[in-house]
Amino acid sequence: MNYDGSCRTDCLKKDAGEENKMSMDSETVRLGIIGIGNMGSEHCRNIQGGKCPDVRITAVADLREDRRRWASERLPGAAVYCSGEELISAGNCDAVLIAVPHFGHEALAISAMEKGLDVLCEKPAAVTASAARRMLKTAERTGRCLTYMFNQRTNCTYRAIHDALGSGAFGELKRVNWIVTDWYRTQRYYDSGTWRATWSGEGGGVLLNQCPHQLDLLIWLCGMPKKVRAVCHEGKWHRIEVEDDVSAYFEFEGGATGVMITSTGDLPGTNRLEIDCEKGKIVCEDGFARCWKLSESERSICFESDNPWYHADASMTVMKTDGINLQHVGVINAFADHILNGRPPVATAADGLNAIMLSNAIHMAGWTGEEITIPLNEERFDRMLEERIARSQPKNGYDQTYETSHERTGETINPSSDHTS
């Protein structure tokens, strides 16, 4: 299939043999990967490298001829298709991993679930909350699993923070501050894809591409904000039409507040999460979490202490973790474990909806200057986004694929690349 939707005649399809006709009787999940660009090809390398023993890649699909040629050469035994729809209809997969540009998530996920396939979708869930809601409803109606690549939930430090807050040891949330600017991007990054950093191709900037992980973690750790204000600077640090610098203010049920600052223009950047609670605080930075615990609630101290200048005698400790940080591999393995054994995936379909709803609310607050209440008016947001899509400027150039590793920082492991004109 070409980018205009017409069918190609030179699709590199090959017979995957009798192996692909096997069912899960072999106790492995037959996985189809739709989209083998930067992330899709990294998933292929991880699975082919033996990091996901319960998964076999039986099919891949990509619109680009050079990526299909890459798959034909690198993935022996896998059928190669010109489009995701063709792969979904082929019948040689139990599940699909969707790693295409954001606007393609909804249609492919719904189509796969309608045909009885379980779905693991890259972040964000979709571009709009309304699309993610339709995906969620399809999952509920068909009974299929729909989960998302929220791989930061596998990080041992964030898991330890989640457990500590959930235990009640720190009391009620008072405030959360997150500065996350350690994903600096050059202009070359934005120029590497004709779809990147455009309203029509990506649907947003840092909020849609880099920040979905932190928005999900914010909700997972602290709950969903009820009110949002924001300033979203578009093209502040790069020649792009979408946001690359955002400051958001949140109010939570119960009175807690929060601030998130994110940008792709800071070098060196910062990733510092501070969670202040009634019985202490947690500061996560540089890969570990430091904790300060109070002997009693700050609220009791405030109203019961006779000392106007009370000073807490709280010692700092480093939060213990299990040291396991599996990232994308952990999400894929949990997805397979859910299919084979019924254990829960890393995230639910509702989690994906919540994260994109918060993202949409930040966008709308920035666009309007208004305080946005969650759940937001999805129809209004969709209309406002469509107005931006209508004004979106097409980008010339080509789509470039880098071989990257996200086990650490997304660093390039092979500077060579494939591209189409």
Place of tokens 């615990």: 293
Q: Which pLDDT value is given to residue 225?
A: 98
In terms of residues, how long is the chain? 421
In the chain, helix, strand, coil percent, each to 5? 35, 25, 40
Q: Which pLDDT value is given to residue 276?
A: 98
Range in 1-10, 144-153, 378-387 the model is least confident about: 1-10
Tokens (6 digits) for 42: 């990294």
Q: Which pLDDT value is given to residue 24?
A: 47
DSSP notation for 302-313? HHH-S-TT----
Helices vs. strands in the chain: H and E counts, helices first: 13, 17
Q: Which pLDDT value is given to residue 18?
A: 37
Within 252-388, strands assigned E span: 257-263, 271-277, 280-285, 288-293, 316-318, 372-373
Q: What's the gap between Cα 40 and its chain centre? A: 14
Q: Is the per-residue pLDDT at 414 higher than 90?
A: no
Q: Is the per-residue pLDDT at 240 higher than 90?
A: yes
Q: Is 416 exposed, middle or buried (0-12, 13-18, 19+ CB in 10 A)?
A: exposed
Buried b / exposed e over 85-111, threshold 16 CB at 10 Å, is: bbbbebebbbbbbbbbbbbbbbbbbbb
Place of tokens 């880098």: 402
Residue 137 amino acid letter: K
CA distance 377 to 385: 13
Q: Which pLDDT value is given to residue 404?
A: 62
For residue 394, name the pLDDT band (cuts at 50, 70, 90): confident
pLDDT, average across residues 225-235:
98
Residue 416 in contact with residue 403, Cβ under 8 Å? Answer: yes
CA distance 213 to 98: 17
Query: What is the enclosing helix (H) or strand (E) of 247?
Result: strand 243-251
For residue 195, name the pLDDT band (cuts at 50, 70, 90): confident
Tokens (6 digits) for 261: 């600052």
Give the fold, CATH level 3, of 18-152+328-348. Answer: Rossmann fold (3.40.50)
pLDDT, average across residues 347-358:
98
Q: 82 forms bridges with which residues in the sheet?
A: none
Give the angle 354-85-336 at the CA atoms, nearest 5°: 55
Q: What is the pLDDT of residues 14-67, one digit of tens each?
A: 444 434 344 445 689 999 999 999 999 999 999 999 999 999 999 999 999 999
Tokens (6 digits) for 184: 């600096």
CA distance 362 to 358: 6
Q: Is the per-residue pLDDT at 84 higher than 90?
A: yes
pLDDT, average across residues 125-153:
98
Pairing label, strands 411-420, 257-263: unpaired
Helical spans, DSSP H, in 75-198? 84-90, 105-114, 129-142, 156-166, 187-191
Q: Which of 409, 322, 328 is nearest to 52 (CA)?
A: 328
Place of tokens 């969670």: 275
For residue 193, name the pLDDT band (cuts at 50, 70, 90): confident
- Percent residues over pLDDT 90 in the chain: 84
pLDDT, average across residues 212-222:
98
pLDDT, average across residues 361-381:
98
**Distant-in-sequence, close-in-space partners of 128: CB < 8 Å, separation ≥ 6:** 203, 356, 360, 378, 381, 382, 385
CATH 3.30.360.10 fits 156-324+355-391, yes or no: yes
- Percent residues over pLDDT 70 in the chain: 88
**Distant-in-sequence, close-in-space partners of 349: CB < 8 Å, separation ≥ 6:** 125, 132, 135, 136, 139, 140, 146, 147, 148
Q: Which pLDDT value is given to residue 96?
A: 98
**Distant-in-sequence, close-in-space partners of 125: CB < 8 Å, separation ≥ 6:** 105, 131, 132, 135, 148, 349, 352, 353, 355, 356
Q: Is the per-residue pLDDT at 312 higher than 60?
A: yes
Q: What is the pLDDT of residues 267-303, one digit of tens each?
A: 999 999 999 999 999 999 999 999 999 999 999 999 9
For residue 397, name the pLDDT band (cuts at 50, 70, 90): low
For residue 314, name the pLDDT band (cuts at 50, 70, 90): confident
SS (H, E, C) 384-400: HHHHHHHHCCCCCCCEE
Domains 18-152+328-348 and 156-324+355-391 in one fold: no
Q: What is the pLDDT of residues 105-126, one digit of tens each?
A: 999 999 999 999 999 999 999 9
Q: What is the average pLDDT value for the chain, to the nearest integer?
A: 90
Q: Which pLDDT value is given to residue 390?
A: 97
Tokens (6 digits) for 416: 């060579």
Give the residue extent of every domain in the chain. Answer: 18-152+328-348, 156-324+355-391
